[in-house]
Each structure stands twice: as C-alpha cells, then as structure tokens.
Amino acid sequence: MATIDDISVSPDELRDRIERLGAVGERPAGGLVRFLYDDAWCAAADLVERWMRQAGLQTRRDAVGNVFGRLPGTTETERTILTGSHIDTVRGGGKYDGALGIVGGIAALAVLKERMGRPRRSLEVVAICEEEGSRIAGNLFGSRGMLGLTSAAETARLTDPDGVSVVDMMTRIGLDPAAVPDAARRDVDHFVELHIEQGPVLDGTGTQIGVVTGIAGMRHQLVTVCGQPDHAGATPMDRRRDALQGAARMAVMIDELARGTGEPTVATVGQMQAWPGSVNTVAERVTFSLDLRHPSDPVRLELLSEIEGRCRALAEHHGLAVEIVDRWEEQAAQMDAGLQQVLADTADDSGFSWSALSSGAAHDSQLWARHVPTSMIFVPSVGGRSHCAVEYTPLEDCVRGATLLARVLYRMAY
Ligand code: HGY
Ligand code: MN
Ligand code: MN
C-alpha cells in the first residue's frame, strides 16, 4: 500500500523551474520586475501554463488572467482543493516570493498524479495574477477575482502610476475587462499556500517548516504634506514652511512610535516624493506612503489614530497642512485550526522539524481565510531577507516544502 514516503518532489526539476521563472523579468541591476499584465508577466504566465500542461494537468485561464492546472477527482468532481501563489513581484523583488508556491504546487500535483493516480477530490494549482499591489492599488486582484470581490467598476477606475488603466492593460493582452466578474468561483473547498517565510524566525532557529497560525492585518496610506515653495538661497530658515522637513519628521516619528510600541508592530515609510523637486527650492508638497501592520486589528487601528494625531500636531507646529488618504486595508487572518493540525502531523510523519508561527507578511491566504478553510506552509528565508534581489531559500528547503505540500494534499484529496 502507498504511503506518504512514496511522495517526494524531484529537486532537479524544481531547481530548474525556480531559476527559469526567476529569470523572467530580471533587471540588469538585479531583482525582478514582473508587474500585472506587463510583458514579463505574460511570459511568466505562458511558462507556468506550459509546465502545468507537461505535468498532465488540465489548464485554463480565467477572466483576470489567473492560470490553473487541474487534476480532476474521481468522485467529488464538482469541488476542488486549491493550491498556488502569486506570479507578480514587487519592484526589485526576489525569485521565491510567490513563485515557489506556483512551481512547488505544480511539482506537488505532478508527483501525486504520477505516483498516486487520480485523487478522489479534484486538486488545482493556480498562478495568481496579482497580489503585491506593485502596479495598481488593487492588491490581491487575482484572489479577489476568484472570490467574486472585483468588479468592472473597479477595473475601470484603477490605473498604474503612468496613468495606464487596467482596462487598457487587459485589452492589450487579450483579456476582456467587462468579463472580470466571470472569474468568480464557488467550488473551492480549501486553499493551501506554500511560501517562503520572508522573515528571520525559521532560519534563525534552524527549523525546516513553519506552520502558519495567522497573518497580520495592514493598512496602506498616502500622507501628503503641503507647505510653501521658496528660494533656497534667499529665504531665511525661520521664514520657511518646508514640506520635506515636515514629512521627514513625520517619518522619524512613525519609526520611533513603532519601535517604542515593540514587537510585533511594524511601520514602514517606503516611498517619498517631493514637488517641485528642485535642489534650490524649498519643497512645497511631499507625499509619502505608510504601511502599518499588527496581528491585532484593534491595536493596529489605535496605532493608526495615534500616528494621525501626531502627524497633525507636527504639521501644525511647522505651519504645514497634512492630508491622509487610505490606500489599502487587509484585516488580520487566522489559518484554519484543522488544517494546521494536518500540516503539523504530516511534518511529524515526514521527520521534518516545524514550528508554529505568525506571518508579518501579507498573502493571498489572508483573503482566502475569510472564505474557506485555509493554511500556509513556510520554508526558511536565508537571513530573513525578502522583497529584494538577495532573497534566497536553499533548494533542499524548497524541495521539503513542496514535498510536504504534496503529502498534505494527498491526505486531503485521496
Ligand atoms: O506586502 C506584503 O506583505 C506582501 O508581500 N504583498
Ligand atoms: Mn511579496
Ligand atoms: Mn508573496
């Protein structure tokens, strides 16, 4: 009789696919840029669809460009267990974030099909079109599409920073923007995502697998500070209303507040732009981003109002105006307790060391968890580095994660 020991993902193919997908969108200066519906995104979607086909899976693309590979079940053919992750990257991102969940998911379904035959319940792997919010302020566009949470109105409203609308992006690559609601599906029973940890815990403790318990909530805001443009040489310091100095003080205040609050609060000012942007003009206007996260939504909301109050006080003190606009909000999520147990038991039975941990990074699973029982498998990130070109997970950890995924899917679907 077959056991989970018969299910192991091949290292050579996984290595080859991580490297090949990791070359799509690579920039000469290092790091990947694979943004929703751009040329690199199209090439990556074609590549993973080819791999799904080679694995003997039934392939399909939906209305928002999610790519699926299906291993149909023998009895429960109408319902499915879904695995996968996102194909887009941040600017200058690494080759494991999102990608590992796709290539690992294809490898898992391929080994199950080859060694165990057809499952009882249908299994599908998905390359999700968008998660990062790198090109549009519409994070999780692919998962929201599948969950029926996108609309033609949103598609008509969203543009990238160059003013290209999602409608034009979709039309350029042959997708019909009006058909976005058709991506919704009601047949998914479970979502299971393999991902790199992106933080230092597993690598620091020498643990092979993370069983994710929950994901921190986050809010993205744009803060605009307005002052007065003046001549850099002729305007005495005490006559200035310098928007850049005000924004810089706010950024320092935010960092100090997060440090003072202590772990697990994290706050990041990752973008700052000044107008008119001249060396010799006092800045009239500055816009900066805020990314604030905490596993407790009430604590996070309290911190947000504290930050807003302190920004307003700083602005007033320096004779500036400030406007704060919400850009994105994702509530904290809990992973399904039953599935966490399946992951933990399967890791034990496989002889893999594991620990339970909470994710500071956001994921597609965060949204899925509000709709269907969802779980995540983490593998270590060397040095805890991610969202940068040096992001790295050794091959043996990738193989272990994909093998655990395959064994978990076996237990769920056969
Ligand atoms: O921002 C995040 O945590 C995710 O990588 N999109
Ligand atoms: Mn990411
Ligand atoms: Mn990711």
Percent of the chain with pLDDT over 90: 97
Site of tokens 């090109």 = 135
Q: Which residue CA neighbors atom 2 of ligand 1 most closely?
A: 362
Is the CB–ligand 1 distance for residue 131 below 6 Å? yes
Please name which of 158, 270, 186, 278 lies closest in space to residue 230, comparing C-alpha atoms: 278
The angle formed by the CA atoms of residues 240, 241 and 247, to the nearest 5 degrees, is: 130
**In the structure, what pLDDT confidence band is assigned to residue 1 with cuts at 50, 70 and 90?**
confident
Question: Looking at the predicted structure, is the pLDDT value of residue 138 above 90?
Answer: no
Segment 199-256, tens digit of pLDDT: 999 999 999 999 999 999 999 999 999 999 999 999 999 999 999 999 999 999 999 9
pLDDT at residue number 2: 80
Segment 200-211, tens digit of pLDDT: 999 999 999 999
pLDDT at residue number 119: 97
Is the CB–ligand 1 distance for residue 132 below 6 Å? yes
> Strand, helix or coil at 123?
strand
Crossing angle (nearest 10°) for helices 395-413 and 337-350? 120
Is the CB–ligand 1 distance for residue 292 below 6 Å? no
From the CA of 50, how far away is ligand 2's center (Å)? Answer: 24
The residues with which 83 forms a beta bridge, in sequence order, are 125, 192
pLDDT at residue number 76: 75
Two tokens, residue 148: 């029926």
**In the structure, what pLDDT confidence band is assigned to residue 378 with cuts at 50, 70 and 90?**
very high
Is the CB–ligand 1 distance for residue 361 below 6 Å? yes
Is the CB–ligand 1 distance for residue 123 below 6 Å? no
Is the CB–ligand 1 distance for residue 216 below 6 Å? no
Percent of the chain with pLDDT over 70: 100
Segment 313-364, tens digit of pLDDT: 999 999 999 999 999 999 999 999 999 999 999 999 999 999 999 999 999 9
From the CA of 154, how far away is ligand 3's center (Å)? Answer: 23
End-to-end CA distance of the chain: 13
CA 111 – CA 83 distance, rounded (Å)? 14
Which helix (DSSP H) or strand (DSSP E) does residue 410 occupy?
A: helix 395-413
pLDDT at residue number 78: 86
Exposure string for 140-167, b = 16+ CB within 10 A, e = fewer:
bbbbbbbbebbeeeebeebbbeeebbbb
CA 69 – CA 61 distance, rounded (Å)? 9
CA 135 – CA 170 distance, rounded (Å)? 13
pLDDT at residue number 84: 98
Please report the atom of ligand 1 found closest to the CA of residue 360.
Answer: 3
pLDDT at residue number 175: 97
Q: Which residue CA neighbors atom 6 of ligand 1 most closely?
A: 132
Domains belonging to the chain, first-starting first, are 4-216+332-413 (3.40.630.10), 217-330 (3.30.70.360)
